[in-house]
């Protein structure tokens, strides 16, 4: 059986051509992520065009996820040579709009410009400041609010260059999750037909709801779904509220591993995945999964184990960032990831525990659980579900049945969005409103997909009356003749 855990690939200079995109798709890419922290609109427009063309050529859906930059705190503009910080010396953090760059270029003072002008209001004496994914560490010794500056001691130094990210664990950053740039980027993405939008630096459910309001404002009939990136300590604290209103989750372990002690991240990852399973919402595990393959053709053993454990945790998807965007071996990275997924999924370690089988809040949940048990008892070759919104597919996928899941939908956007849901093969079909005709369409589909032979049994799951949104309540076991 082909892999059921989905792969999200970040597209960039190493993967933007149609030739490489097609190789990525054949290797196992299900979702293409466009990082709007980089690139021009012209470049992103070309990427979307190339991805859609590859999808049409291969006759397989590929979802497009727009990842908004969010209010990331960054180092401001520095000389090309950067600024070298020695352990124990003092450095002043100052909003870059308050710096005279002509003086800075000839000054011997160690001044580090930052792009977030309110940090001095939200930071405390004793706070730790991490720069460039935690490679450099400063400690705040004094905050001079009238001057908008922070005096820090260098704990772990080195050469810092322009625009590197800054993390301040424990600080309550007041900046909105949606910046002016993000709003303009969102307008662009909606116009170009994205399927998912990922919201960076989410603090609570209100951030998600604000984004959803903007989507409806900019494109009232939009079906675009929202992924919340969990990369702040506040997001972990407020996770239940976020999960309630969002459509999907990304465990963004890069920033999260700086905001919180790294030894906590594996358990946070497991807990988030478990809660997403119960809620039947897709979850992505991201960051540094095959980091060494940026420069090496083979992964480390630890990286392969990381992928395997995410699959065993029952994540819906795993993600590659720089590995496919700027790395030297983008196709090989996807191939390794897909091969690891397939190997783990046929093992007994991938079997779902009882965690989701006792959480019912609708008839559809109970029906989906019954499908899981039918597959175990009757050796069902495939489940064919019918959906207008994707809800039925997520209900079925939630229980991780050990069989093929084919989902029929008449909506092309929903088809692509389901590329993020575990185990689902979404197919665009002219779904009949007549039950008998729908059953015939379902049986014709499994024959066309060549996944069943005469005498095999399949399950058809749908709503009755046909077309009733979110109300899967009918199960039919049928034999292929």
Residue 375 lies in a domain: yes
Assign residue 49 the CATH number of its domain: 3.20.20.60
Whether 11 and 117 map to the same domain: the answer is no
**Assigned domain for 31 exists:** yes
Establish whether the linkage from the previous residue to 265 is cis, with ω within 30° of 0.
no
| 237 belongs to a structural domain | yes
Type and span of the H or E element at 189: helix 180-192
Looking at 287, 315, 387, 409, which residue is catalytic? 287
Provide mean pLDDT across the span 125-150. 92
322 occurs within a structural domain: yes
- Assign 103 a pLDDT band (cuts: 50, 70, 90): very low
64: CB partners within 8 A, 6+ apart: 31, 32, 34, 48, 51, 193, 194, 195, 196, 416
**Residue 275 backbone phi and psi in degrees, to 5:** -65, -35
- Choosing from 167, 186, 211, the residue where a domain stops is 167
Residues 271 and 334 in one domain: yes
Phi, psi of 22 (to 5 degrees): -65, -40
- Identified catalytic residue from 229, 253, 281, 394: 229
The verdict on 241 and 189 lying in the same domain is: yes
CA distance 139 to 254: 21
Q: In this structure, what token pair is assigned to residue 141?
A: 């010794």
Q: What one-character-per-residue DSSP string does 303-318 give?
A: HHHHHHHHHHTT-SEE
pLDDT band at residue 356, thresholds of 50, 70 and 90? Answer: low
Smallest CA-to-CA distance from 418 within 443, 388, 447, 438 is with 388
Chain mean pLDDT for the chain: 92
* Confidence grade of residue 427 (pLDDT, cut at 50, 70, 90): very high
Is there a single domain that holds both residue 300 and residue 443? no
Question: What residue numbers bound the domain in which 404 lies?
Answer: 354-479
Q: Are residues 334 and 310 in the same domain?
A: yes
Question: Are residues 371 and 467 located together in one domain of the fold?
Answer: yes
Report the number of distinct structural domains present in the chain: 3
CATH number at residue 89: 2.40.33.10
- Whether 229 is catalytic is yes
Q: How much is the pLDDT for 271?
A: 97
pLDDT digits (tens, 9 = 90+) for 275-322: 999 999 999 999 999 999 999 999 999 999 999 999 999 999 999 999
Last residue of a domain, one of 344, 375, 407: 344
Residue 314 backbone class (left: φ over 0; alpha: ψ -120 to 50; beta: rest): left
pLDDT, tens digit, for every residue of 2-24? 899 999 999 999 999 999 999 99
Q: Is-contact 368 277, C-beta < 8 A?
A: no
Residue 172 lies in a domain: no
Q: Are 448 and 438 in contact (CB under 8 A)?
A: no
The answer to whether residues 199 and 60 belong to one domain is yes
Same domain, 277 and 212: yes
| Residue 131 pLDDT exceeds 80 | yes
**In this structure, is residue 405 part of a structural domain?**
yes
Closest CA to 227 of 171, 270, 283: 283
Q: Do 139 and 224 have their domain in common? A: no
Per the domain annotation, does 241 fall within a domain? yes
Choice among 3, 23, 74, 404 that is catalytic: 74
Sequence-distant (≥ 6) Cβ neighbours of residue 95 within 8 angstroms: 113, 114, 115, 116, 117, 119, 120, 148
Is there a single domain that holds both residue 57 and residue 197? yes
The radius of gyration computed from the CA coordinates of the chain, to the nearest angstrom, equals 24
| ∠ CA 289-291-297, rounded to 5° | 110
Amino acid 369: pLDDT: 87
Tell me, what CATH number does 365's domain have? 3.40.1380.20
The vertex-431 CA angle with 425 and 432, nearest 5°, equals: 150
From 344, 373, 394, give the residue that closes a domain. Answer: 344
Instruction: Please check whether residues 109 and 17 belong to one and the same domain.
Output: no
Is there a single domain that holds both residue 332 and residue 202? yes
Taken in order 83, 87, 91, 97, the sign of the CA dihedral is positive
State the pLDDT confidence band at 49, using cuts at 50, 70 and 90. very high
Closest by alpha carbon to 71, among 260, 326, 255? 255
DSSP class of 142: E
Among the listed residues 4, 6, 23, 33, the single catalytic one is 33
What is the SS3 assignment for 122?
helix
pLDDT in tens, 150-181: 999 999 999 999 989 999 998 888 888 899 99
74 as an active site residue: the answer is yes
Cβ neighbours of 476 (radius 10 Å): 15
Predicted confidence band of residue 412 (pLDDT cuts 50, 70, 90): very high
Distance separating alpha carbons of residues 135 and 365, to the nearest angstrom: 46
181 burial class (0-12, 13-18, 19+ CB within 10 angstroms)? middle
Task: Give residue 117's pLDDT.
Answer: 87
The pLDDT assigned to 174 comes to 85
- As a whole-number percent, the residues of the chain with pLDDT over 90 amount to 76
Residue 75 maps to a domain? no
């Amino acid at each position: 059986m082909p892999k059921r855990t989905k792969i999200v690939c970040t597209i960039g200079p190493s993967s933007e051509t149609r030739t490489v995109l097609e190789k990525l798709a054949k290797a196992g890419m299900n979702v293409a992520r466009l990082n709007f922290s980089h690139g021009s609109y012209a470049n992103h427009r070309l990427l979307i065009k190339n991805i859609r063309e590859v999808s049409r050529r291969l006759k397989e859906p590929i979802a497009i996820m727009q990842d908004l930059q969010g209010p990331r705190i960054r180092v401001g503009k520095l000389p090309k040579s950067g600024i070298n910080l020695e352990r124990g010396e003092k450095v002043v953090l100052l909003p870059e709009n308050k710096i005279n760059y002509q003086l800075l270029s000839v000054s011997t003072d160690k001044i580090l410009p930052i792009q977030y002008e309110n940090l001095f209001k939200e930071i405390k004496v004793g706070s730790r400041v991490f720069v460039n994914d935690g490679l450099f560490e400063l400690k705040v010794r004094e905050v001079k609010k009238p001057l908008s500056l922070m005096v820090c001691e260098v704990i772990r130094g080195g050469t810092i260059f322009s625009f590197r990210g800054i993390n301040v664990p424990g600080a309550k950053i007041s900046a909105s999750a949606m910046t002016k740039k993000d709003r303009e980027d969102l307008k662009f993405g909606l116009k170009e037909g994205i399927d998912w939008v990922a919201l960076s630096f989410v603090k609570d459910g209100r951030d998600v709801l604000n984004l959803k309001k903007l989507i409806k404002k900019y494109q009232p009939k939009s079906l675009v779904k929202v992924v919340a990136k969990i990369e702040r300590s506040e997001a972990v604290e407020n996770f239940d509220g976020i999960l309630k209103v969002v459509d999907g989750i990304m465990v963004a372990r890069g920033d999260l591993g700086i905001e919180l002690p790294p030894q906590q991240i594996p358990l946070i990852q497991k807990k988030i995945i478990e809660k997403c399973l119960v809620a039947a919402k897709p979850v992505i595990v991201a960051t540094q999964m095959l980091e060494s393959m940026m420069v090496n053709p083979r992964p480390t053993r630890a990286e392969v184990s990381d992928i395997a454990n995410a699959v065993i945790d029952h994540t819906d998807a795993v993600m590659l960032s720089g590995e496919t965007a700027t790395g030297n071996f983008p196709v090989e990275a996807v191939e390794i990831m897909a091969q690891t997924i397939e190997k783990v999924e046929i093992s007994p370690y991938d079997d779902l525990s009882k965690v989701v089988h006792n959480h019912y809040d609708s008839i559809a949940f109970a029906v989906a659980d019954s499908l899981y048990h039918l597959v175990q008892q009757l050796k069902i070759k495939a489940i064919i579900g019918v959906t207008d919104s994707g809800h039925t597919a997520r209900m079925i996928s939630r229980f991780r049945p050990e069989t093929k899941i084919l989902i029929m939908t008449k909506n092309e956007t929903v088809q692509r969005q389901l590329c993020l849901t575990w185990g689902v093969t979404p197919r665009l079909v002219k779904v009949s409103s007549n039950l008998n005709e729908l059953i015939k369409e379902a049986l014709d589909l499994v024959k066309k997909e060549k996944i069943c032979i005469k005498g095999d049994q399949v399950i058809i799951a749908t709503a009755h009356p046909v077309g009733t949104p979110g109300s899967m309540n009918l199960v039919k076991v049928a034999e292929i003749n």
